[in-house]
Amino acid sequence: MMLHYKIAGNYGAKAHLIGSNTVKVGVELFENQIPLEEKEDFTKPQRNKDLPYWVIPDSTGKLKGLLHTCRRFEFCRDVIVLVSEATPKEYLRHLEERNYTYYIGGKDHINLKKLLELLHSEYKVKKVLADTGNILSSLLINQGLVSELSLLIHPIIVGRNSYNIFSDINENIALRLKKFERLPNGYIWLAYKVKK
């Protein structure tokens, strides 16, 4: 994970778009027990303005009771939640009580293009790094919202238990190799430009 975050930091993105499933799995994987919320979790952190916002689509309220673990992360400026008109009102109250900024974009589902434009206009974000799994990455790629793809190749064959992050891509996507770097312990970092 340290290698992953080191590479992510190289991009200098002012916002990291992270899927709610990715957050949930990450919290469950790295926290032995979900820590209880504390008084400080109800206020926006005062951190270096060069840190990225973590922007998390969560229209169902899946992360209720977990978002404070993200807000506590030292490399996160603060959390911004993306929701839809169909998001449960109880979850919106939960966010408001904890001073999370949230934006409603879309009727039943989140309109990612509209909300990326909002990040640009409200926060002057020019570059967004998507740190996510199959669902959000497929939505972004299928909607033509991805300009570059960064892959960290691990020196292991997973086999039957492998996770196909690209299984929901609608069509072949042409790529142009931008970067190839050998890293310690047999890891390889590949970066591709998406051909339009």
pTM for the model stands at: 0.90
- pLDDT at position 49 is 92
Query: Taking Cα atoms as reference points, which of 125, 76, 71, 62 lies closest to residue 100?
Result: 71
DSSP one-letter code for 58 = -
Q: Answer whether residue 89 shows pLDDT above 90.
A: yes
For residue 3, the SS3 value is helix
Strands lying side by side in the sheet with 15-17: 101-104, 79-83, 53-57, 15-17, 128-130
For residue 103, the SS3 value is strand
Q: Which residues fall within 8 angstroms of residue 131, CB to CB, at 6 or more apart?
A: 8, 16, 17, 18, 22
Task: Report the C-alpha gap between 58 and 156 in whole angstroms.
Answer: 32
- Give yes or no for a contact between 65 and 34, defined as CB atoms under 8 angstroms apart: yes
- pLDDT-based confidence at residue 32 (cuts at 50, 70, 90): confident
154-196 tens-digit pLDDT: 999 988 888 888 999 999 999 999 999 999 999 999 999 999 8
